Amino acid sequence: MKTDPRCIPCFFQQAINLSKIMKLDENILKKILKETGLIINDITFEETPAEIGRRVYSMISQITGVEDPYKSLKRESIETALGLYPDLKEKVENSNDKLLSGIKYAVAGNIIDFGVGKEFDIHDEIDKAATKQFAIFDYPEFKESLINADSILYIADNAGESVFDRLLIEQLHKPVLYVVREKPIINDLTYEDAVASGIPDHIKIISSGVTAPGTILKLCSDEFIEIYNNAEMIISKGQGNYEGLSGEPGNIFFLLKAKCECVSEKLNVPLGSLILKKSE
């Protein structure tokens, strides 16, 4: 998915949000916004939003000298989610359709996102999760692929959301490779965060090699590309991965909340919709 003109104000807004979180001096923020202006002048709009996001965050890291500004917020998200986990685990185990219940909580967790710049309330999202309808719901295809696949490639999105991914992974009953980002970017999941989220030992955590907030195949490691090409079933969480992987080959199931106008327009659903969509 290429960058839309409407993404541009969003990059600046993200820089402003980040500066608040980092409690940056206003003069540093002004410098960051001016540098973001230069980056925008340099783009072609052929890039995915995640590629531009990577350039902006990398510039901010260089200016501030901070590599992982969301570190403590990521830890808080994970702690909050771990606190909710036992109760939700029980709800999943007691539900009529455990797999569906796992899917619903996994997508509810996708609300945890500091990149989109909107306030979120994970408790509210969890309350709604059991009853909210999906706008696109390729569940029959999902179940069929799951039966036929020997293993699943599960591409994670954000820290905290990862704890909710566990609820789904536990209902897959297949070997899972859980994919994280190579380096900290926004609140996207890294290896360290995945471990802190309590991903079970028998689940192998691997890196895509990408340092952008999304899975962009041309930026992935050769090792990951080989695994990706051989995957029988891929679960792709969140917008950043959808932006990178929509249009790419593979038996992909996109599981996400459509949080911005451009993504919801591309999916032809109302803003805020829940999506379980098989790739075309």
Q: How many CB atoms lie within 10 A of CB 246?
A: 18
Cβ partners under 8 Å of residue 125, min gap 6 = 108, 111
> What are the tokens at 104?
């619903």
- Separation of alpha carbons 128 and 109, rounded Å: 12
* Number of residues this chain uses to bind its own copies (CB under 8 A): 24
Instruction: Based on the shown chain and the rule CB under 8 A, indicate whether residue 43 belongs to the binding site for its own copies.
Output: yes
Q: Does 269 bind its own copies (CB under 8 A)?
A: no
Q: Is 47 in the site for its own copies (CB under 8 A)?
A: no
Instruction: Quote the DSSP letter at residue 89.
Output: H
Asked if 260 interacts with its own copies (CB under 8 A), we say no
Residues 189-248 that bind its own copies (CB under 8 A): none
Q: Does 6 bind its own copies (CB under 8 A)?
A: yes
Q: Does 266 bind its own copies (CB under 8 A)?
A: no
Using rule CB under 8 A, residue 119 touches its own copies: no
* Contacts of residue 240, Cβ cutoff 8 Å, sequence gap at least 6: 49, 50, 53, 115, 157, 188, 212, 213, 214, 215
30 forms part of the interface with its own copies (CB under 8 A): yes
| Degrees to nearest 5, angle at CA 164 with 174 and 178 | 45
Both tokens assigned to 250: 């593979």
- 59 near its own copies, judged by CB under 8 A: no
Closest approach of Cβ 212 to its own copies, in Å? 20
- Among residues 10, 176, 205, 216, the one that binds its own copies under rule CB under 8 A: 10
Q: Which is nearer to its own copies, 6 or 143 (CB)?
A: 6
CB atoms within 10 A of CB 25: 11
- Give the residue with the Cβ less far from its own copies, 29 or 256: 29
| Binding piece for its own copies, criterion CB under 8 A, among 11-19, 56-64, 176-184, 224-232 | 11-19
CB atoms within 10 A of CB 46: 8
63 binds its own copies (CB under 8 A): no
Q: Is 16 in the site for its own copies (CB under 8 A)?
A: yes
Token pair 């990577």 is at which residue? Answer: 54
| Residue nearer to its own copies on the CB measure, 30 or 204 | 30
Establish if 118 lies at the interface with its own copies (CB under 8 A). no
Report in angstroms how near the CB of residue 45 gets to its own copies at its nearest: 5
What Å distances lie between residue 39 and 45, 54, 147, CA to CA? 12, 11, 46
Q: Cα 202–71–53 angle (5° rounding)?
A: 95
Q: Whose Cβ is closer to its own copies: residue 182's or residue 243's?
A: 243
Nearer to its own copies, 39 or 82 (CB): 39
Query: Is the CB of 22 or the CB of 39 nearer to its own copies?
Result: 39
Residue 153: phi and psi, rounded to 5, are -100, 115
Q: Which of the stretches 13-21, 63-71, 140-148, 166-174 binds its own copies when contact is defined by CB under 8 A?
A: 13-21
What are the Cα distances from residue 257, in Å, to 20, 164, 237? Answer: 25, 14, 9
Can you read off the two tokens belonging to residue 10? 């969003």
List of residues contacting its own copies (CB under 8 A): 5-6, 8-10, 12-13, 16, 19, 26, 29-30, 33-43, 45
